Amino acid sequence: MQNFDFDLFVIGGGSGGVRAARMAAQRGARVALAEVAAMGGTCVNVGCIPKKLYSYAAHYAESFEESHGFGWVGEAPTLDWELLKTNRAREISRLNGIYIQLLKNAGVQIIEDWATLAGKHSIEVGGKTYSAKHILIATGGTPTVPEVPGREHVITSNEIFDLAPFPKRLLVVGGGYIACEFASIFNGLGAQVIQAYRGAQVLRGFDDEVRAFIAGEMRKAGVDLQLNTDVASISKTDQGLLVTLKSGATLVVDTVLYATGREPLTGGLCLDTADVAVNEAGAIQVNTHYQTSVPSIYAVGDVTARLQLTPVALGEAMVVVDQLFGPAAGKRPRSMSYDFIPTAVFTHPNIGTVGYSEADAREKFGAISVYSSDFKALKHTLSGSSERTFMKLLVEDATDRVVGLHMVGADAGEIVQGFAVAMKAGATKAVFDSTIGIHPTAAEEFVTLREPVKKPA
């Protein structure tokens, strides 16, 4: 029997990699983890966490303005961009330290360098070669920028958090959730924001009514959202960055943020050395057990380009650990279902969604009933804001099961999370109807929608 240096070698210290390494070590496995950058990956360092902190910061401007309707008098304070950046960086450093300590406490050997595959059971890091019975690739993804003339002048979401100085005029290129979030955030922080998207509507893949509703709310909030618009070139001038659109129109901004997609971070891993297969998009191909084309090598998270969500990577990591080293005492082996995974978009207002869009529900289930509501939240009866809330339920007629739930409004992510549990459990519209709402809240609207706005033909 071959002796290995480690039972598990993890490449990548993001959410999935850290979770797998820590839990495998707690099962008694000999584990190493290689990470060349700050521990925690995209989510902790340049993704979910700092983005949500900046989203909180951006909400204060509108909150100060809205407070006048509730009797508060006085001028709103001004944003100290440098202080916000400093406080965010301190919090991220604290989280980096926590991740490292969790790994060390579990007995994981951390190797701070770039790792490459040297074979089916071997990894090269910093000039040294290690052997492992199992290898897990969890290197995540990275932003991509198309080959547009002047692309050397643009930034991605990796650089947006530490811009100096604050971009008073910002162009956001893209229509996905990252583009929409940063357009909302920097608009709230006080920038003049233009968002350009080549498609007919933002947030492709989301419910069409949700897409149209959030586009309207973002425009009301001050984002200059320009659809069917794409960039032809970017050049640097004394007045700023001169952006020429394909329509021939021009605009001058301080910063151009490209949020047009992400790709799996596989470059430099030497996957071909071990014959690890990738698909046309460069994502590592895995089976239902997260095994690659090489039985000893596994992959989870964004590097497989399934669902690019931190909780998904965490769930996949736990499936791999339970398969390889057994479940925790008294627990069953984990499994991963991709049905009814809730998600949120931290635009202003937020989006929360779980289940199918209306178009997908009709294709999947045939006859469905649609319930929806569009209203001004109680808060805004005094705040002076024109912001509205939108809610939508999709019900499969044959079973009465709620198969789609969507919300655009304050704290949508917090509200939808609870309903996601009910939908995973198979809740029907009758169960929703029989549930007493908490009054007065926006969330109660989901259990008081009585008449469908669209019935099956």
> Using omega within 30 degrees of 0 as the cis cutoff, is the peptide bond preceding 440 cis?
yes
What pLDDT is recorded for position 323?
A: 96
Report, as ranges of residue numbers, the positions in the chain whose pLDDT lies below 70: 1, 456-457
Q: Is residue 56 one of the residues assigned to a domain?
A: yes
**Which tokens hold the place of 416?**
């939808």
- Specify whether 439 is catalytic: yes
Q: Is residue 65 one of the residues assigned to a domain?
A: yes
DSSP summary character for residue 32 = E
DSSP summary character for residue 166 = -
What pLDDT is recorded for position 454?
A: 82
What pLDDT is recorded for position 305?
A: 87
Give me the residues paired with residue 128 across strands. 125
Last residue in a domain, options 325, 354, 374: 325
Same domain assignment for residues 10 and 110 = yes
Same domain assignment for residues 24 and 124 = yes
What pLDDT is recorded for position 447?
A: 98
CATH number where 280 lies: 3.50.50.60
User: Which domain, by its residues, includes 155?
Assistant: 151-260
Whole-angstrom CA distances from 449 to 66, 178, 430, 434, 439 are: 29, 31, 11, 11, 14
Residue that is written with structure tokens 């469908």 in the block:
452
Residue 448: Cβ within 10 Å count: 14
Contacts of residue 278, defined as CB under 8 A and 6 or more positions apart, other chains included, come to 264, 266, 271, 284, 285
Same domain assignment for residues 156 and 244 = yes
Active-site hit among 59, 153, 406, 439: 439
Residues 248, 237: Cα–Cα separation, whole Å:
18
Number of domains in the chain: 3
Q: Is residue 24 one of the residues assigned to a domain?
A: yes
What pLDDT is recorded for position 122?
A: 98
Same domain assignment for residues 198 and 294 = no
Model confidence, pTM: 0.96
Last residue in a domain, options 271, 297, 325: 325
Give me the residues paired with residue 369 across strands. 395
CATH number where 405 lies: 3.30.390.30
Q: Are strands 240-245 and 231-237 parallel, antiparallel or unpaired?
A: antiparallel
Buried-state track 28-51, b at ≥16 Cβ within 10 A, e below 16: ebbbbbbbbebbbbbbbbbbbbbb
What pLDDT is recorded for position 339?
A: 95
Contacts 24+ apart (CB under 8 A), 285-294: 289/319, 289/320, 289/323, 290/316, 290/319, 290/320, 292/137, 294/120
Same domain assignment for residues 271 and 138 = yes
Looking at this protein, which amino acid is placed at residue 286?
A: V
- The rounded Cα 152 to chain-centroid distance in angstroms is 25
Same domain assignment for residues 166 and 186 = yes
Last residue in a domain, options 208, 225, 260: 260
Q: Is residue 421 one of the residues assigned to a domain?
A: yes
Same domain assignment for residues 128 and 27 = yes
Q: Are strands 31-34 and 109-111 parallel, antiparallel or unpaired?
A: parallel
Residues 188, 361: Cα–Cα separation, whole Å:
34
Same domain assignment for residues 277 and 135 = yes
Q: Is residue 334 one of the residues assigned to a domain?
A: no
Q: Look over the chain and give the mean of its residue pLDDT values, rounded to a whole number.
A: 97
Same domain assignment for residues 268 and 380 = no
Q: Is residue 337 one of the residues assigned to a domain?
A: no
Same domain assignment for residues 117 and 184 = no
Same domain assignment for residues 243 and 272 = no
Alpha helices, DSSP H, located in 198-335 = 208-221, 310-325
Q: Is residue 296 one of the residues assigned to a domain?
A: yes
Contacts of residue 316, defined as CB under 8 A and 6 or more positions apart, other chains included, come to 16, 290, 300, 301, 336
Same domain assignment for residues 391 and 310 = no
What pLDDT is recorded for position 213?
A: 98
Q: Is residue 452 one of the residues assigned to a domain?
A: no
